Structure 1
Amino acid sequence: MPKVIWGVDSAAAVDQQLYDCVVNNFGQPDVWGRYLNTIPNVSDGLTKEEINFLKGKGVKILPIYNNFTEAIGAKAGKVAAQNALFNAKRLGVPKGVFIFANVERFFDVDPDWILGWVERMINSDYRPGIYFDPIEGPFNEAYCEAVVRNRDVFSKTVLWSAEPESGISTKRDFPTYSPAVPNCEANVWAWQYGRDAEECPIDTILVQQRLFESLY
């Protein structure tokens, strides 16, 4: 069983109040998933000030790109990757960090988009990650076809599973690492196991040590 690290993700920007809420209710997070872009009524974009705040607390950042509403077509996949790369560089994210495309369960998804995202990312200073749902929605089929078409989709991409939802927990009581996975080869190194905590606007996540070491 791989070593796992506990943390959270949030659409809201991390300030002292949100940080204290998480620490007081759940424990000190070692990793925090945050979005690269501000999207009205969806997510606050990560800022350099927020990065400095989290780094000062010893928290690693898991960067997420979510400025898209469907995952269709190779061109769109490459454009999403290019925009993610631009924002990562703008924020000073170091080379070699995984950036996760946020593919929601209700998105339309095809293998061409996945190929476009992965191929553009692996030809950059960063590494491709994808947040996905292997149970609801079309991601599983699209991903497995993309793997057949280009082995880099498996060998160089890390996936972050949204299933199963076992419920929010504290840092001391997180579940055994057992995310749902695609029905083909995949590196599922992260799991969002709890969603929408009542006490603070966060989800709870687990990441494997090997991913943790390649975050910011």
Structure 2
Amino acid sequence: MTENRFLPYILSFVLIVFTAFTFYMFGSMDRTEPVTASSDSSVEGESNSSSTSNGDSNEISNSIENEINSENGTIDNTITNEINGANGDIDNNIDNRINGENGDIKNTIENIINGDNAQIDNNIENHINNSSNNLIDNSITNNIEVNVDVNVTNNITNNIESSGTEEDSETENGNGDENGNGVQNGEGNGNGEGNGEGTNGEDTPETVWGVDSASITTDEMLMCVRENFGDPEVWARYLRDKDGVSYGLRQDEVELLHSNDIDIMVIWNHFEDATGYEKGQSQANEAIEEAREFGIPEGVAIFANVEPIYPIDSGFLLGWYETLAESEYESGVYGIFHPDRDLYIAYEAAAEENPDLMENNYVWTSSPNHGITTEDNAPDYNPEAPEGSLIAGWQYGIDAETCNIDTNHFDSNVFDALWSNE
């Protein structure tokens, strides 16, 4: 009787322990872990991750690992991250390994950031061993709408140990370059020759691909760009040295670029306060004088470089434009022409005071920033600028550590205002 009296309590205790264990097991299954697939037969692995974060101090980390030991192994990974707010940090890591015949790997990463102070690290490693007829397709898209202090690093490593020939393997990489910037040493100056006529004609393309750089252009640098990025048709460079920031254009650069059928876009960056009509006027006069001494032909546009940290107002823009409009040169302005930026607001205000500015001043915009790419993987042409403005080009990617360049689409509008060798 005594034992029967305690039996309900014993059963209740056992039931509680069983329930707690069940909740623990199911809870563990919901925890985020690296995705791992392993098999000794034909396998198709698919991994998808989508994350959205709103607010400040956002962090998103994705880690995917796939291992397939089989024939006809296929891996398809897709990661989409979106951050709306300041201090965005995205870290994507994908590690794929296939041991077997006919290995196919596809990786797609899309990062969207609307905010400042962003850090994006994308790392992809693909290893295919003992196989033939391989296909690797890597695609990385970084869409950064507001780009103050943004660092993007894309690392792609493909390691194929194939039992077939090189013709059996196909590899495609999108956006696989790291960020950084700086200037390189160089000497020399002189006078140039040529004219301001561009490459317009009956078959004029809407845009051409090109670069800009703070470094001096050499044979080695040109080869670096062609081997790692593409074949530029326009190369933007600065007038006169600015200590610690940029090296000015040299005569031997002009000869090198023109001998390779590359047109030159001219930049002026010798100011850090872009306020006041007199300031714009004085900077324009200084740029005009420098261009004349260097031998830049009439009709070429000179672009005022307005960095995002510079104070800016409509007076400066009017002083710059109206002074250049009275000279033998054309007027242009470079900067982040995003609707929320002071430059965009000041530009529209200046155009209200003088409508000719909207029609005749060239706008070279760095908004939106998609990140550095090769020429073949450049984004579709989609610059941001005030409505009705004369767009010269779109700097869609900044600060490539390799070769020290930024990447651009240059608009057909500006072809007549480039320094060509014709």
Instruction: Give TM-score, length-normalised by structure 2.
Output: 0.50
1:176 and 2:380 aligned: yes
1:206 and 2:409 aligned: yes
1:22 and 2:225 aligned: yes
Cα distance in 2 for partners of 1:212, 1:26 equals 22
Cα distance in 2 for partners of 1:196, 1:132 equals 15
What is the aligned-residue RMSD (CA, Å)?
Answer: 1.2
Residue among 157, 180, 188 paired with 2:361: 157
Cα distance in 2 for partners of 1:210, 1:187 equals 7
- The residue type paired with residue 274 of structure 2 is A
Cα distance in 1 for partners of 2:245, 2:212 equals 14
**Structure 1 residues without counterparts, runs of 5 or longer:** none
Conserved in 2, the CA contact under 8 Å of 1:107 and 1:137? no
Task: Tell me the secondary structure at the aligned position of residue 171 of structure 1.
Answer: coil
Q: CA deviation at 1:210?
A: 2.5
1:99 and 2:99 aligned: no
Q: CA deviation at 1:16?
A: 1.2
Instruction: Give TM-score, length-normalised by structure 1.
Output: 0.95
Cα deviation 1:128-181 (Å, max 9, x = unaligned): 000021226411111111000001211110100011111111122211110111
Cα distance in 1 for partners of 2:356, 2:240 equals 27
Higher relative contact order (CA 8 A, sep 6+): 1
Displaced runs of 4+ in structure 1, greater than 6 A?
A: none
| Number of aligned positions between the proteins | 214
- The residue type paired with residue 172 of structure 1 is D
- The residue type paired with residue 167 of structure 1 is G
**Structure 2 residues without counterparts, runs of 5 or longer:** 1-204
Cα deviation 1:76-111 (Å, max 9, x = unaligned): 101111111111112211111111000111110010
Cα distance in 2 for partners of 1:46, 1:86 equals 15
Cα distance in 2 for partners of 1:18, 1:49 equals 13
- The residue type paired with residue 211 of structure 1 is V
1:54 and 2:268 aligned: no
Task: Tell me the secondary structure at the aligned position of residue 417 of structure 2.
Answer: coil
Pick the structure with more strand per residue: 2
Cα deviation 1:158-210 (Å, max 9, x = unaligned): 1000111111111222111101112x431222100011113110000111123
1:115 and 2:318 aligned: yes
Identity of paired residues, percent?
37
Cα distance in 2 for partners of 1:91, 1:171 equals 31
Cα distance in 1 for partners of 2:251, 2:410 equals 23
